[in-house]
Amino acid sequence: MNRLKQCLFAGLASCLLALPCVSLAEGSTQPPAADVTMTIKASGESELLQAVQAKDYEKALQIVNAQIEKNPNNANAYDHRSTVYWFLGRSDEALADCDKAISLEPDKAFHYLNRGSIYEQRKEYQMAVNDYTKALDLTKDDNPLEGLMYFNRARAYTQLDDYDKALADIKQGETLAPAFPQNYFLEGLIHEKKGEMKQAKESRKIGVMYELVHRGDYYLAGAVAEEAGLNDQALALLNEAAKRSPDSSDVYSERGLVYANLSRPREAIIDLTKALSLKETAMDYNNRGECYRALKQFDLARKDYDKAVSLAQSNNDKQAVYDSLGQLAMDQGDYRTAANYVTKALEVEPYEDGYRLRAKIWRHLGELKKADQDEAAAQEIEQRQLLGR
C-alpha cells in the first residue's frame, strides 16, 4: 500500500524534537554512562544518592569521605567518590579513585566500566576502549550492565573513527538490550558517519519507536514501527493503543494500514471502516480502496477512491489517490488511463515508486523510450535518498 502518512508527520515531528539522541560533540560535560549514580543505587546508599540527585555534591563528598575513613578498603566507596569528583569537575581525582577501586578488586568488571567512562569523558578514547574491553572480559552471563558496556565501547570506537568495530558492538548491545533506544540512536550516528544515510534513518526510527514505548505512547510508537517496516511490532503496539483509546480513529486507521501491510486486507477493511465511522479522511478511504483492490473488488475500490478524491485537500492526499487510481486502471488493463493518473500523481511531486509504476505502464503500451526515461528518473531519486539528499 502506497500510503503517504501526512496526518502523522506533524505530531511525530514535534515528538522527535523532544526525544534524546546520542551526541559525540566535543566538549560535552554530560556524565558518561546512562546513569552514573547506578552503583550508589545498587548498594542502597540512600543518603548519598539523595545528595547526588539534589546536586549537593559537597555534601555527597562528605558522606563518601566518611565511608572511606571508616573502611579504607571499600572499593565501592571509591567508585562512589569518583562519581562525585566527576560532578565536581575534578577528573584527575575521579580517575585516581577508579584506580584505587581496581587495585582493591581487580576482578570486578564494574570498576573498569566506571574508569572507562571517566577516560571517555576525558577524551582518552583508546584508554576507554581498553577498560571497556577488560570489563567485558570479566563479565559473567546475565550481567545487566553488559549491554551498557557494549554501548559505551561502541561510542568510544566511534570517536576513534573505527566504525566497523563500533557497529559490531552496537549490534551486540541491541541483542542484549533490544529495547534500549540509545543503541539505535548511536547506530544511526555510526551509519551516518559511514555515509549510509538510509540505514541511519531506519536505525533512528527504531530508536524513536522504543523511546515512545517507554513514554507510554503506543499509538505513535506503532506508527513509527510501521514506517520502519516493523509490522509485527507495530501491530502489537497498536493493539495496546486500541485497548487504551478505543474511540481513537487514528489508532484504527494506523492498525488498518498495518493489517494491509501484512496482507490481511479483510481485517484492514474492518479497522478502516471503524476509523471512517469516527472521522472521514481521504487517506482512510484511499487505503480501504487499496484493500478492496487487493481482493479484486474493483467496484468497491473505485467507489472509495472517488470519495477520497472528493475529500483530498493536501498534495500528499491527491498524489496518493492518483497513484491508487493508476494502479486500479492498470489492474483492469486500461493502461492509457493508468498512465494519465500516474502522470497526475508525478505532477504533484516526483517520487521513485511513481516513475517505476509509470515505466511498467509504458512498457505495456510499447513506449520503451518513455519507460527507460522513467526508470532513469527513479534511479536518480533512489540515489539521492541513499545519500540523504
Domains delineated in the chain: 6-11+211-386 (1.25.40.10), 38-196 (1.25.40.10)
Could you give the CA distance from residue 177 to residue 162 in angstroms, rounded to a whole number? 22
Give the dihedral of Cα atoms 386, 387, 388, 389; nearest 10 deg.
-120
Could you give the CA distance from residue 351 to residue 227 in angstroms, rounded to a whole number? 17
Could you give the CA distance from residue 133 to residue 150 in angstroms, rounded to a whole number? 9
User: What confidence tens digit (pLDDT) does each residue in 306-362 have?
Assistant: 999 999 999 999 999 999 999 999 999 999 999 999 999 999 999 999 999 999 999
User: What confidence tens digit (pLDDT) does each residue in 239-284 have?
Assistant: 999 999 999 999 999 999 999 999 999 999 999 999 999 999 999 9
User: What confidence tens digit (pLDDT) does each residue in 280-297 have?
Assistant: 999 999 999 999 999 999
Q: Quick one: pLDDT at residue 13? A: 37
Question: Chain-centre distance of CA 283, in angstroms?
Answer: 25
pTM value? 0.78
In the predicted structure, residue 111 carries a pLDDT above the cut 80: yes
> Which residues lie closer than 8 Å to 25 by C-beta, 6 or more apart?
none
Q: Indicate the residue type of 266.
A: R
User: What confidence tens digit (pLDDT) does each residue in 206-222 have?
Assistant: 999 999 999 999 999 99
